Amino acid sequence: MATTPLDAARDLFDTLDAAAARVPAGEPMAESSLDALEGAGLYGPMVPKAVGGLELPLADVVDMYAEVSRADGSTGWCYFAADVAAAFFGAYLPDEGADEVFAGGVPVVAGQFAPNGTATVDGDELVLTGDYQFGSGIAHAAWAGAGMMTVPDDGSDPAYLMGCLPVNRAELKGNWDVLGLQATASYDYAIREARLPRARTFDFFAPVVHRGAPMHALGVLPLTAAGHAGWALGVTRRVLDEVLALARGTTRMGAPTSLAESERFLFELGALEGRYRAGRAWVREACEEAEAEAARDGAVSAVTANLVREACRHVNQGGADIAREAYLLAGTKGLRAGPIERGFRDLHAGAQHFFASPSAAIDLTRSLLDDA
């Protein structure tokens, strides 16, 4: 019987794996997977307790994302993306906005937080128009998140805000025909002249923590990076597990022994395992140190924030590299539809994301230079 949220997530492995295998190409992840996660009490690992979340330590949140992603990359991606977004609104919205968004418990939130919308100010409301991409999980969401730049009528500087609206205010484009992460349904969506109260927005770069744990003081970029890191670790773990599982029963054409008796295979898979574990250890260290610093100081330094981001970039790009090498070790079995093939595609899709881009390493070095 599950005794911790992580145990409960492990217990769902077969359920989530089987549901993912049944999803037709191009269709969103199974609704039954969301129901299973909710039924197991696994909504909201990063979300403040004050609004119904679990509010786990950040390193444990990463482990939760990894475990769900080990079962299926698309399910894990939607799970962490919805949770991180809900955590932001749960921690950073004033009471009026949080009470509305979390009235029914922790909701499914999806959307793009790049400032692709423009919001005019009308008293205590904003009128938002924007065109967005990559609304991962939005097919099952209750709320659509949206980044926006305000257009002040008093000549003051625009503000970069994140807000959310009921998902029925967004026009979903249904356009998601991609190499990997196929079941995330990361559709483009449009919002036209939609009104939302200021109480459902917060400042992207300087959010006020109204409730939650020390980790919420890290802000949007490091917390999102932690989500991407957990996802990559889970999908990479699955690929390595699957290659190991086929070793004893697989003999390559012309080879005298099975893969399990090939020293070349043993060395290469062992080296991949070491690379994976090193990355996982760094992610945990970066998260634990960031949370400890936030608890002590009420905030984190630029170096600390960028170390979390760079650890994320490292395991995302490293995971794609590991998946490619593991795929080659698997031989023709990696060609066939299944966890190795799906993990290979998903990790290469994830490696194209902003949070796997060079910006994290560049920003880290700049902050180290500033700190020197």
pLDDT tens for 292-338 read 999 999 999 999 999 999 999 999 999 999 999 999 999 888 889 99
The DSSP annotation for 194-252 comes to EEEEGGGEEESSS----SS-GGGGG-HHHHHHHHHHHHHHHHHHHHHHHHHHHSTT---
**Burial (CB count <10 Å: 0-12, 13-18, 19+), residue 179:** exposed
Domains contained in the chain, CATH given: 5-101 (1.10.540.10), 109-203 (2.40.110.10), 214-371 (1.20.140.10)
Average pLDDT, the chain: 96
Angle at 121 between CA 120 and CA 124, to 5 degrees: 145
Share of the chain above pLDDT 90, in %: 89
pTM: 0.96
- Which residues lie below 8 Å from residue 218, measured CB to CB, with a gap of 6+? 58, 290, 291, 294, 300, 305, 308
Map residue 67 onto helix, strand or coil. helix
Report, as an integer, the average pLDDT of 123-129: 95
Q: What is the tens place of the pLDDT at every residue in 9-51?
A: 999 999 999 999 999 888 999 999 999 999 999 999 999 999 9
pLDDT of residue 80: 99
Q: Provide the H-helix boundaries in the chain.
A: 5-11, 13-22, 31-39, 58-71, 73-92, 95-101, 220-246, 263-297, 302-329, 339-350, 359-371
Tokens linked to 324:
């490619």
**Segment 152-208, tens digit of pLDDT:** 877 788 999 999 999 999 999 999 999 999 999 999 999 999 999 999 999 999 999
pLDDT at 97 over 60: yes
- Which of 130, 356, 136, 118 lies closest to 233, judged by CA? 356
